[in-house]
Amino acid sequence: MYSFEKENAFFSNKWIVFDEEDNEVYTVKHPGFFSSDNILMMNQLGVVVLEISWNFWKTNFKLIQNEVEIANVSKSTALFHKEFFITTADGTEVTIKGHWLRNEFRFMKGDDEFAYVSRKRFAFAHDRYGVAIRAEINPLFILGAVIVIQVIIRAQEGSV
């Protein structure tokens, strides 16, 4: 279990990822939606463990671990449909099904749910997600997808 919090939503593009004991395990630096720089997730030593790049239109996002693309994330083109699609490096198709309020997301491979994300508003300037991931799943894969969801939602809200 992880939790994921955006630090000072108005002035910072930094997210913190905590483990189940509320220890900070990763820091995510986002240069801003209109920047061409990639999003970087770093461990406590400052080593980049995941990089997220995007295309010009910000419709496809690549998750890169150790310079190898591990997945491609895209959003459904339906206007009110809160669904995202992931294709992993080995060709596995994953669907992220979102609640229409954009506060819950289920990671599904067919009918099999292997990760669950819940977004709650804890304070005026903070967003926090709870992220439950099956033990056999690469957590960076899920955490990277959560970052992509957050970037897309914030862009739609005009608050990236």
Q: What one-character DSSP code corresponds to residue 36?
A: -
94 pLDDT higher than 50:
yes
- pLDDT for the residue 152: 77
Domain boundaries along the sequence of the chain: 2-157
Average pLDDT for 52-70? 85
Widest CA span of the chain, in angstroms?
A: 41
Would you say 106 and 146 are in contact if contact means Cβ atoms under 8 Å apart? no
Would you say 93 and 83 are in contact if contact means Cβ atoms under 8 Å apart? no
At residue 138, the 3 state secondary structure works out as coil
The CATH number of domain 2-157, selected from 3.50.50.60, 3.40.50.2300, 2.40.160.200, 1.10.10.10: 2.40.160.200
Q: What percent of the chain has pLDDT over 90?
A: 42
Lowest mean pLDDT among 36-45, 47-56, 99-108: 99-108
Give 102-134 pLDDT, tens digit per residue. 678 899 999 999 999 887 644 444 567 789 999
Task: Quickly tell me which residue has 């005009």 as its tokens.
Answer: 158
Top mean-pLDDT range of 16-25, 51-60, 98-107, 142-151: 16-25
Sign of the C-alpha dihedral computed for residues 115, 122, 50 and 85 taken in this order:
positive
- Residues 113 and 94: their CA atoms lie apart, in Å, by 10
Q: Cα 155 to the chain's mean position, in Å?
A: 14
Would you say 17 and 2 are in contact if contact means Cβ atoms under 8 Å apart? yes
71 pLDDT higher than 80:
yes
